Chains A and B, each alone.
Chain A
Amino acid sequence: MTAPASAQTPAIAVRDLTVAYDDRPVLWDVDLDVPHSVLMAIVGPNGAGKTTMIKAMLNLVRPAAGQVEILGQSYQKSRHQVGYVPQRGSVDWDFPTNVLDVVLMGRYGALGWIRRPGEADRKLALQALEKVSMADFAERQISQLSGGQQQRVFLARALVQDAQVYLMDEPFQGVDATTERAIITILKDLRSAGKTVVCVHHDLQTVPDYFDWVALLNVRKIASGPVAEVFNDTNLRLAYGGRVAFLSRDSAAPATAQPTPDYED
């Protein structure tokens, strides 16, 4: 379809991005490069613009200034190579449909107008469900799923998009420990397969275990880069201000941030 992006162009390039809702800035002049084949977390306090960042990458909000390129192209051109996992709470789970049908929605982009999903699409959807261990639930009505199962279904839907770049809005929000482990395994597999995965993430403690790349946001970009280099006390304090206490054993070493238990509600 498109020429393979050269090694120099980042998977996602955000340039001087400013987004405002009603003249209230949510992101101020953010520059951000996401290299190929990384698993990146976007972290920052509430209202830092993390979700807005994902939405701007997906062209869901119109920036006041700046631009985003994915795989060296505008989103319009590269969207067939982008998979998206919205926040679980953003949809009505009492909608009359079943698990398989939701996963098939991931194929609509490839199907185009009027055509209905066929046998091949069903097969892809079932494979994706297999990957998230939800194959037994294919015919299940979606309102009967637990939070973790809902999240797996959303992940399966993104998997059938067969994308190069995956953008996920809080994929670990409100899921059980088993699902969290299952999801991170799949995300790491994606990275190993050369895909780029960007997640809005809330749990600072798991950042070093789960991700190899991180961006700290608080309306502007505080830092971005490999977790080992930028995920440290200084940057976290810059991002979170006084709102989080860190117990660092050695301020020079990359911090394993220990947020106070009540930091995120």
Chain B
Amino acid sequence: MFPEFLTDIYTDYTIRNITLGAMTLGFVSGSLGTFAVLRRQSLLGDTISHAVLPGIILAFMLTGSRDPLILIIGAAIVGWIATLSIMAIVNTTRIKPDASLALVLSVFFGFGMMLMTFVQRQPEAASAGLSRFLFGQAAAIIWDDVRTMLIVGGSAMVILLIFWKEFKLVVFDRAFALSMGMPVRRFDVLLTTLLVIAIVIGLQTVGVVLMSAMVVAPAAAARQWTDRLGFVTLLAGGFGALSGVSGALISVYMTRMPTGPTIVLCLTVVVVFSLLMAPNRGLLWSWVRQHRQSREIRSRVVLGDLYWLSAQHEGAEHGHSIGTLEAMSAGRVAVDHGLEDLERAGLAQRTGDDNWMLTESGRHQAQKDLQSGERESADV
């Protein structure tokens, strides 16, 4: 399968369009999604992606055209109406954001479903294309779709670049941006428009039901790998493109693999891998770190105890039994393992009768620990 599809990309017109389209939409929605995730609008993304359904269908009903650009415009307009409705409900009533999101999502979607039954009753072939807006269909991507994605997505990326530092500040510290006289509300509108674009761009390929994952998941994965906003955005775009292309191609080459769900599963793999493996933040790394830290603390405690004992007995040469040390740490740490670690680091040594004492460097280390400990407690 692999070599086959590689040659297809160069030779097969359809496959090239699918690849290019999935890559574009994955990159655009992934990178734009970064801002949505940072603004805690993941669920708004979910709501918008469901709520645009009536927009697509109305656009079709009114124009009779299934030109992707027209349908996307219809979707974007209704996406904005949905967003404004949510804001109106939250601002003028005591209904909380979660409930207004769920209400708008389900009512708009239901309305869309109602409209869809009208359209489906018409026998024309033109209406057949609409049902793929539910779960997406990569196989149907044609050059028109790709062109639309490139134009819409490209403009969104240009806007992102132009206002990069303003977006960053508005999202990070709204009050500070306002105090600088930035038109923060206008940037809100712009950012929400970009979120709507990130969603509508993938509607025919991924489908309304799952499009929100394309916006949320890449950013969540990318955040684990880097601490810089620019890299997060780029990487999210990369993850989105990767999952988009692999999901689309799998769904094309395998029978009965709906495109949207396949892409989302590819994304999920990326997310899980990132959560586990990303350096620093990844769960695997923090487990390793925790383990190392508890070992470190164990050694410190034993070292300190040994030092205290030797100070009490005024003779550093004197060895001390494991039993004494265990009594001192009152079972908090595994003394024997701690001693082995210290021995390996050359900080402690065995005396003849299986007792333990500090080495010269161990004594130095213990003194240093003690001093820095005092400094820290003075700081607090």
Contact = CB atoms under 8 A, between A and B. Distances in A.
Given A98-B227, A98-B228, A178-B379, A109 B180 contact: yes
Contact of A96 (B162, B181, B223, B380): B223
Nearest to B162: A114
A116 interface: yes
Contacts of A91: 172-173
Contacts of A96: 38, 223, 226-229, 231-232
A84 B162 CA distance: 25
B208 to A, nearest CB: 29
A92 interface: yes
Interface residues of B, number: 26
Contact of A90 (B166, B175, B226, B379): B175
Interface string B135-168: 0000000000000000000000000001011101
A84 B175 CA distance: 9
A114 B172 CA distance: 18
A76 B178 CA distance: 11
Contacts of A90: 173, 175
Pick the 5 closest A-B CB pairs, nearest first.
Answer: A141-B227, A84-B179, A109-B180, A86-B175, A58-B179
A109 B181 contact: yes
Contacts of A229: none
Contacts of A113: 166
A92 B227 contact: no
Given A82-B179, A95-B171, A109-B181, 13 more contacts: A58-B175, A58-B178, A59-B179, A60-B179, A90-B175, A95-B38, A95-B172, A98-B227, A105-B173, A108-B166, A141-B227, A176-B379, A176-B380
Residue among B165, B178, B223, B380 with the most chain A CB within 10 A?
A: B165
B379 A79 contact: no
B162 to A, nearest CB: 6
A206 interface: no
B180 A108 contact: yes
Contacts of A178: 379
Contacts of A102: 172
Contact of B172 (A60, A79, A105): A105
14 contacts: A84-B176, A86-B173, A91-B173, A96-B227, A97-B228, A98-B228, A105-B165, A105-B168, A105-B169, A105-B172, A108-B165, A108-B180, A111-B165, A141-B227
A1 to B, nearest CB: 14
- The secondary structure that dominates the A interface is mixed
Contacts of A79: 179-181
Nearest to A86: B175
Nearest to A143: B227
Contacts of B176: 84, 86, 105, 157
A126 B36 CA distance: 31
Residue of B175, B182, B223, B380 ringed by the most chain A CB atoms within 10 A: B175
Nearest to B280: A141
B232 to A, nearest CB: 5
Nearest to A110: B180
A177 B379 CA distance: 7
A70 to B, nearest CB: 11
Contacts of B231: 96
Nearest to B222: A96
A143 B175 CA distance: 19
Contacts of B162: 114
A112 to B, nearest CB: 10
Contacts of B180: 79, 108-109
A109 B38 CA distance: 23
A91 B180 CA distance: 16
A98 B171 CA distance: 15
Which interface residue of B168, B179, B232 has the most chain A CB atoms within 10 A? B179
A92 B380 CA distance: 25
A63 to B, nearest CB: 15
Interface in B175-192: 175-176, 178-182
Interface string A92-127: 100111100110010011010110110000000000
A55 B176 CA distance: 11
A24 to B, nearest CB: 15
A82 B164 CA distance: 24
Interface string A168-186: 0000000011100000000
